[in-house]
Chain A
Amino acid sequence: MADTKLKPLSLQDMILRLHAFWGEQGCLILQPYDMRMGAGTFHTATTLRALGPEPWNAAFVQPCRRPTDGRYGENPNRLQHYYQYQVILKPSPENLQELYLQSLGMIGVDPLVHDIRFVEDDWESPTLGAWGLGWEVWCDGMEVTQFTYFQQMGGFDCKPVAGELTYGLERLAMYIQGVDNVYDLAFNNHGVTYGDVFLENEKQMSKWNFEVADTDSLFEGFRRAEAECQRSLEADVPIAAYEQAIEASHLFNLLQARGVISVQERASYMGRVRDLARGSCEAYMARNADAWAAKYPEWSK
């Protein structure tokens, strides 16, 4: 990639390069899930597809919302809305680390100039009943990617194991572009910055998350999502049920940002979200298990 040496990639070119690379590796290039969520892992392409024996390779950008991380646009590193680049490969290929390092090369990281390290960081999402072993990948001391071999999802063993890569796009871009403030990032090569696109959004959304959002309707929304999830489970539409789990999870995050959930209540709310997510995964498994078992005899429920 000769041109990367000349001019660092813009954020959008970085995404395009990653799409091109992972597309060549046989990944489906998907679009973001159209719901508010805290991490790309919530995308059904990750959570639900990590279950079951069928091979699955996909890559996509997922906008993530973390209401408590909002800083009204005043912190150069923290955002309540940002992008993750997710790659999920099931089963995990033997050369996953090499593929990942190649992808870094594609966006302009030279591993003989920059210090790339795999530092132990096991991933766990109590809300999703999921965990895996892996690393945070460091580039000159900065965590740029979470690299995980999923071992369990929704409380079920992953058979086979999927490899999941989560690139922090803004961080990588800041790094590649040598920029100290996220709002100074070049979004494209025509003079539009990240700040042009998102600064006002950060200001307003931080205010809404922390000050404006109506807590009564949030509580009510949580309760409704919970009820709707149950109804959907009863109607055996687990994907719909899972969407309600995503909804409840985000509403819980908003309630946290509004500071209306106490330490004691926190655990109980998290438990409720976990039950929804697990119930959905369970129903998803149940619905597909027979077909999977027929097609993959070595896979047993």
Chain B
Amino acid sequence: MSDFLLELRCEEIPARMQAGARADLEKLFVKELAAAGLKAGAVTVFSTPRRLALIARDLPLATEAVSEETKGPRTSAPEQALEGFLRKTGLSKDQLTERDGVWFAVTEKPGRETRDVLAEAIPAIIRAFPWPKSQRWGADSISTESLRWVRPLSGIVAILGEDLVACEIGGVASGYATRGHRFHCPGEITIGGAHDYAEKLRACHVIVDHAEREAMIREKAKAAAADAGLVLVEDEGLVIENAGLTEWPAPLLGRFDEAFLDVPPEVIQLTARVNQKYFVCEYPSRLGEGLLSASDPASPPPTPPASGRGELANAFVCTANIEATDGGAAIVDGNRKVLAARLSDARFFWEQDKKKPLSVHAEKLARITFHEKLGSVADKVERVAKLARWLVEEGIIKPSPLQGRGLGVGAASAAPSQPHTPALSPEGEREKLADQAELAARLCKADLVTEMVGEFPELQGLMGGYYARAEGLPDAVADAIRDHYKPVGQGDDVPTAPVTVAVALADKLDTLVGFFLINQPPSGSRDPFALRRAALGVVSLIQANGLRVALRAVFETAIESYYEVAFRRYYYFLILSPAGERMLQGHVDRHDMVSASFYKQVWWPNEVFAAVRQSPNAMEVVMGAEEFEGNTDDDETPHAYDFSVRSVALFRTSNPEAALSSLLVFFADRLKVQQREAGVRHDLIDAVFALGGEDDLVRLLARVHALQAFVTTEDGTNLLAGYKRAANILKKESWSANAGSQGEGVVPPTGEEDPLVLVDDPEFRGVAGAFARPDKNYDREPAEQALIDALKAAEPQAERAVEAEDFTAAMAALATLRAPIDAFFESVTVNDADANKRASRLALLDRFRAAVHKVADFSRIEG
């Protein structure tokens, strides 16, 4: 048994690729070994910017000899079969062995030296290495077949025990020599083997174990901040990245000009992090001061102040790769200057952006494409503003603080400063909320065209919030602008402040509707527009705020907005541009168009569809786009027209009804996934969904949750058993043809109606036969009568409860059927010889089933 060391040295490996490369190296190595019948005791992998290393413990020095037996033809088989077998195995007849009348070829594979296996495996691993990006280099690259590696490969160390594993690839031969730190120990060093590798490198200023470097950075960065009386803002991503950029990490603290702290802290942190890979620091919060100085590891971290964190300090921690001869003074000074230049840029953006109100920035949104087929961002904003207002005016989002589950982001900061004061009448409150929602929606995307968000796209929303506050907009509006992208994923805060909810919801709904209108729903793993996330966001917003909303109606409104905005733009195009005028010539009098009545027609889709269909050529002219390019003075309008015309062209082919139904199905699916993840039994979700027609998520989920509670009770379990038994009997008797079993809207037959009324309907003729004129007056058995009575009582109760959306009460009403149905099965024979009785009892079971279906489709429930 020996330990094996492999080091692949190359020019600097990108930090982000190192973790993957370690995993790949291990995987490829284990695979190559396994193919040769070898297995190592333990395999460890390491990386630095300049090397990938692997140590495999306890490798056998040779593989075991194996004898392989191949079955041949029967001895009785014709000569040709045997000849074929000999050819195949390369043996002669006397080398075969015979057993039970069958020829066998036995090949002995001698054991191989592990060193030889490794010498073949290493080049194979290097050739097969799946770098995300790789390159050629040097003189060999005159052929495109030359070796590829992440950056030029410069050395291989391969030592088994203490013996060299000799191999060569792409002009690089293995050896005992590697190199230490690029600047501290630039010469060659000789490695003895796995046993001294890490320590020899350490002596040459290289910490080969990435985990150790990460720990060093974590601790020393924290310590550097603490020495300056500050608290490091921890950032594990930066720890790993800096460990991937250094072989000898040395965190150093520097200061920047305090004047930069005027810039929002998120901007400073992002500038430092993204551009320079620096950590930032905070002042210790007042509450935490005492704790910080205490070195007791058991003491909890300092309690953050109300805002959630301490204030940003004018300090940064960079991670150098050397032990500088001047103690790091020059490095800190250099880094300080670079950061200062970056922060000057950021401050410049911040100040430039604030010079104009968001409403002026928003004008530029007409130039930005939301989606080629869905118009500009300005178009989107227009729609979102309409929808946000509609959500308030319809009473879906109410002015009073919403009944949220837990505090959302918006609520946290808005609620204390703006207590709900019923100074206005309810109508006034609603109007105010509608105005704020519309305003916030109109401004929510304006920061996309600011310099700051241009530089740091991840600050979208956040900057809008800052700019809104800076120009003195109400907090509720600023908060809504800031948080309207939320929730961005599971676990993210769900807004609860009314204005924010309106904008957040409208924005997501608009996106969803748009992409379904152009028939680009997510498929499989492809969801380029993050529609699943948007749908989940909508579901979370509705749930967290208990919003009572019929999804269908909301979608319809959103679709209408698409048409309206597109057609309004189209209308302007027609009446304002020369191209539009040419297009209309001979079709419509321009005078009529300018009149209000025509405007109404134009924006109403059907009318215009008709108009466009009548003159398809006109549409083609416009689609050519060249027609109107340069024909207007204002250089922004062509794009608006361009978008609108494309949208119109699209809507000519889109199918809103199809979009609507796929959206509803899509939402149902998302909801199921979400509920399943939340631990709700999928069969219960199915049982409620199977009722169909429910697009009020709150009601739907209330039903699911009540059902979940009910089926686990004894009554629930037994009722389910009774239901299943009834359903089975009905199924066996083919009773399912009866419309009554379909539940809603049809009065379930009870045996008390005159079945002949159904006979006229051809659909029911077969069913009616089963009734065969039951004798209304036969003597019912007590359990039968008891069930009828119980149903009589339970049916209206359940119905009322469902209407009142008290699903627990509806379940309770059902629970009263449990004893009667049990007793019924106990003592009544359904399949009575008397056809009347049989029909009547089947009808009764069907009625029972229908009653249960008022609450959920129990046939979907398992167990």
Report yes or no: B341 in contact with A53, Cβ–Cβ below 8 A.
no
Chain B 364-403 near chain A by CB (<8 Å), digits 1 or 0:
0001110000000000000000000000000000000000
Q: Point out which of B12, B49, B335 has the most chain A C-beta atoms below 10 A from its C-beta.
A: B12
Q: Which A residues lie within 8 Å of B322 (CB)? A: 111-112, 115
Q: How far is B15's CA from A150's CA once the two chains are assembled, in angstroms?
A: 21
How far, in angstroms, from A158 to B136 measured CA to CA in the complex? 9
Residue interface mask A154-169, B partner, CB < 8 A = 1: 0001111101000000
Tell yes or no: B653 within 8 A of A by CB.
no
B325 at the interface (CB under 8 A from A): yes
Judge whether B141 and A94 touch: CB under 8 Å: no
A180 contacts chain B at the CB level, 8 A cutoff: yes
Residues of A within 8 A of B139 (CB): 91, 160
Interface residues of A in 99-148 (CB under 8 A from B): 101, 110-120, 122, 132-135, 139-142
B180 to chain A, nearest CB (A): 14
Closest Cβ neighbor of B144 among chain A residues: A157
B136 proximity list for chain A (CB < 8 A): 149, 151, 160-161
Closest partner residue, chain B, to A161 (CB atom):
B141
Q: Are B331 and A114 in contact (CB under 8 A)?
A: yes
Task: Decide yes or no whether B519 CB sits under 8 A from chain A.
Answer: no
At the interface, yes or no: A26 with Cβ under 8 Å from chain B?
no
Assembly CA distance A264 to B376 (angstroms)? 12
Interface residue B330 (Cβ < 8 Å from any Cβ of A): yes
Give the residue name and chain of the A residue nearest to B332 (CB): A140
Pick the contact of A118: B12, B369, B639 (CB < 8 A): B12
Most buried by B among A53, A112, A120, A134: A120
* Contact of A160 with B49 in the complex, beta carbons under 8 Å: no
Interchain CB contact under 8 A, B183 and A141:
no
Q: Which of B16, B183, B639 is in CB contact (< 8 Å) with A111?
A: B183
Chain B hits for A133, CB < 8 A: 133-135, 150-151
The listed residue with most B CB atoms (<10 A of its CB), out of A92, A157, A163, A299, is A92
A71→B507 CA distance, assembly (Å): 38
Residues of B within 8 A of A94 (CB): 138, 152, 154
Complex: chain B residue closest to A132, CB-CB: B135
* Residue B582 at the chain A interface, CB threshold 8 Å: no
Answer yes or no: A175 CB below 8 A from chain B CBs: yes
Q: Is A116 within 8 A of B635, CB to CB?
A: no
Asked whether any CB of chain B lies closer than 8 Å to the CB of A262, the reply is yes
Q: Are B367 and A159 in touch, CB under 8 angstroms?
A: no
Given A141-B339, A142-B337, A262-B635; A113-B137 close (CB under 8 Å): no
Are B16's CB and A91's CB within 8 A?
no
Are B334 and A139 in contact, CB atoms less than 8 angstroms apart? yes
A120 CA to B851 CA, complexed, in Å = 68
B324 touches A298 (CB 8 A): no
- Complex contact A115–B140 (CB within 8 A): no
In the assembled complex, how far is the CB of residue B14 from the closest CB belonging to chain A, in whole angstroms?
Answer: 3
B245 CB–A CB distance under 8 Å:
yes
Given A118-B12, A120-B15: A151 and B154 within 8 A (CB)?
no
CB distance from A6 to the nearest CB of B (A): 16
Q: How far is the CA of A186 from the CA of B140 in the complex (A)?
A: 43
CA distance in complex: A52, B245 (Å): 35
Interface 0/1 of A285-301, CB less than 8 Å to B: 00000000000101110
Q: Are A141 and B338 in contact (CB under 8 A)?
A: yes
Q: CA–CA, A141 to B246, complex, Å?
A: 13
Tell me the complex Cα distance, A163–B335, Å. Answer: 28
Distance in angstroms between the alpha carbons of A255 and B138 in the assembled complex: 40
Interface size, chain B (Cβ < 8 Å): 52
Residues of B within 8 A of A111 (CB): 182-183, 322
Instruction: Find the B residue at minimum CB distance from A115.
Output: B320
Q: Mark A244-272, 1 if CB is under 8 A from B, else 0.
A: 00000000000000001011100000000
Instruction: Let me know if A141 and B135 touch, CB within 8 A.
Output: no
CA distance A300 to B144 in the complex (A): 9
Give the chain A neighbours of B642 by CB distance below 8 A: 264
Q: Counting CB contacts under 8 A, is B450 at the interface?
A: no
- Docked complex Cα distance between A46 and B687 (Å): 69
A23 interface residue per 8 A CB criterion:
no
Closest A residue, CB atoms, query B318:
A141
CA A161 – CA B11 in complex, angstroms?
16
Cβ of B195 within 8 Å of any chain A Cβ, yes or no, is no
Please name all residues of chain B whose beta carbon is closer than 8 Å to the beta carbon of A142 when the two chains form the complex.
334-335, 337-338
Determine the distance from Cα of A161 to Cα of B334 in the docked complex, in whole angstroms.
Answer: 34
At the interface, yes or no: B587 with Cβ under 8 Å from chain A? no
Which of A122, A260, A262 is the one whose CB lies under 8 Å from B639?
A262
The interface residues of chain A lying within 8 Å CB-to-CB of B184 are 112
Q: Please report which residues of chain B, range 36-86, place their CB below 8 angstroms from some CB of chain A when the two chains form the complex.
A: 49
A112 touches B142 (CB 8 A): no
Q: Tell yes or no: A77 within 8 A of B by CB.
A: yes
B647 at the interface (CB under 8 A from A): no
Contacts of B150 in A (CB 8 A): 133
Contact A115 B324 (CB under 8 A): yes
Q: Complex Cα distance A175/B333, Å?
A: 11
Report the Cα distance A141→B339, complex, angstroms: 8
Give the docked Cα–Cα distance between A107 and B339 (Å).
Answer: 24
Question: Contacts A141-B338, A141-B339, A161-B141; is A113 near B324 (CB within 8 Å)?
Answer: yes
Q: What per-residue 1/0 map shows which CB atoms of A20-38 lie under 8 Å from chain B?
A: 0000000000000000000
CA distance A300 to B139 in the complex (A): 14
Query: Is residue A217 within 8 Å, beta carbon to beta carbon, of the partner chain?
Result: no
Told that A77-B341, A115-B320 touch, could you supply 16 new A-B pairs with CB distance under 8 A? A77-B344, A114-B324, A115-B324, A117-B245, A119-B245, A133-B150, A133-B151, A140-B331, A140-B335, A141-B278, A142-B337, A142-B338, A158-B141, A175-B334, A264-B642, A300-B143
* A-B residue pairs, 7 tightest by C-beta: A140-B334, A120-B14, A118-B12, A141-B335, A160-B141, A161-B141, A115-B320
Task: Enumerate 15 A-B pairs (CB-CB under 8 Å) in ascending A order.
Answer: A101-B182, A114-B334, A115-B321, A115-B322, A117-B321, A122-B133, A132-B135, A133-B150, A133-B151, A140-B335, A141-B335, A159-B142, A160-B138, A161-B136, A263-B369
